[in-house]
Amino acid sequence: MLYRINRFLQDFFSVSPKEARGIAGLLIISAVVLLFPVFFKHYLFRRTPEEIAEEKIFLDSLIKAVASGKKENSAVALQGQPPVIILKEFDPNTATQAEMVSLGIPRFLARRIATFREKGGVFRKKEDLNRIYDFPPGLFRELEPYVRIGAAYLPPETGPAGRQPAGHGAGHAYSGSAGERLRPGQDYTRTIVPFDINKADTTSLKRLKGIGSARAKTIVNYRNSLGGFYSQSQYPRIYGLDSVALSQLRQYALVLTPPRKIPINQVSLEHFLRHPYARSNRKLSEAIIRYREQHGAYRSREDLEKVISVTPGFLDMLAPYLDFD
């Protein structure tokens, strides 16, 4: 029989005996593949009537559970009407987040106010609420009549002639002539003297809004690892700064002294990679050192641009720290 099949395939496809055997094997494999799902379903996983009945009961119970869940969700939706907002007097320096939400302040703004206070921020007057990022003007107009600043948070009175209020050191100046006394609730102006970011300590940084002890340490540590800042455009790379802190840094933290330079023609790869910018792309840093070893010293940034793999963005970031002497 096999001979006949083989002979038939030879005549039908006009092939050699060896090719006919290959075609026969392929047909057998194809038949097995096509019939296996049928065999698998009807013989290996044949379900008994009892199993079918149990499955039907389970599906019916599942449908009922889904239907009852929809009814419960509908009831919850009806009950979840917006809470009634009752406006009352409050002090933004002491009100809890729950109290602020009950006054109609969105939850994210209530958290933002609490964070502002945790970082040392104080509301001296009603208008200080507008210092909170994204605080809606319409909401402020609605709440303004109910804002009450506690006596402990009102602008401090000036002392004898030539003295500043207690608790305020260098770096702050107050409007008004020497010896002029500020009445409780009277507005005043506090001016922070700009400083050199490359020489500043944490005390100077903590005078800025939005910068507490932890952020001040982060800024100083990052500056020291860089060897100093060369531009205010580097501030957004400092980890963990929000828009308030960045705005304060751009306004008062000036770059007045140059950063520490890296002698690119003498530095080893190990020391080069200690710089955060060089370490951010080890492959490009290795290419820079390898090119110097093969072609000699760099004379300018233009020589660095000859390194094929080095990108302009990487050079823009790193070049101000390089000394080509």
In a domain, 12, yes or no: yes
The pLDDT confidence band at residue 174, using thresholds 50, 70 and 90, is very low
The answer to the question of residue 70 being in a domain is no
Rounded Cα distance between 3 and 9, Å, is: 10
- Going by C-alpha positions, the residue among 213, 194, 195 that lies closest to residue 203 is 213
What is d(CA 324, CA 137) in angstroms, rounded to the nearest whole number?
Answer: 53
Q: Among 59-73, 109-123, 237-251, 277-291, which is the least confidently predicted range?
A: 59-73
Query: d(Cα 129, Cα 116) in Å, to the nearest integer?
Result: 11
**Does the residue 33 lie in any domain?**
yes
For the beta carbon of residue 248, count every other beta carbon within 10 angstroms. 19
| pLDDT for res 155 | 74
Calculate the average pLDDT of the chain.
79
198, 180 contact by CB (below 8 A): no
Q: Is residue 166 domain-resident?
A: no
Tell how strand 190-192 and strand 172-174 pair up.
antiparallel
Q: What is the DSSP string of 32-96?
A: HHHHHHHHIIIIISPPPHHHHHHHHHHHHHHHHHHHHHHHHHHHHHHH-PPPPP----B-TTT--
Domain residue limits at 139? 97-153
250 and 267 part of one domain: no
3 belongs to a structural domain: yes
What is the C-alpha to C-alpha distance for residues 120 and 202, in angstroms, rounded to an integer? 14
In this prediction, residue 42 has a pLDDT band, given cuts at 50, 70 and 90, of low
pLDDT digits (tens, 9 = 90+) for 144-158: 889 998 888 887 653
Q: Do 266 and 245 share a structural domain?
A: no
From the CA atom positions of the chain, what is the Rg in Å? 38
| Whether residue 159 has pLDDT greater than 50 | no
Residue 179 predicted with pLDDT over 50: no
28-42, 239-253, 297-311: least confident range: 28-42
pLDDT band with cut points at 50, 70 and 90 for residue 160: very low
User: Does 77 fall in a domain?
Assistant: no
Boundary-marking domain end, from 254, 283, 311: 254
Q: Flag whether 87 is in a domain.
A: no
CA distances from 135 to 44, 113, 181, 311 (A): 67, 10, 32, 41
Strand partners, 322: 262
Q: Tell me, what amino acid is at 191?
A: T
Query: CATH number of the domain that 205 lies in?
Result: 1.10.150.280
How many domains does the structure of the chain reveal? 4
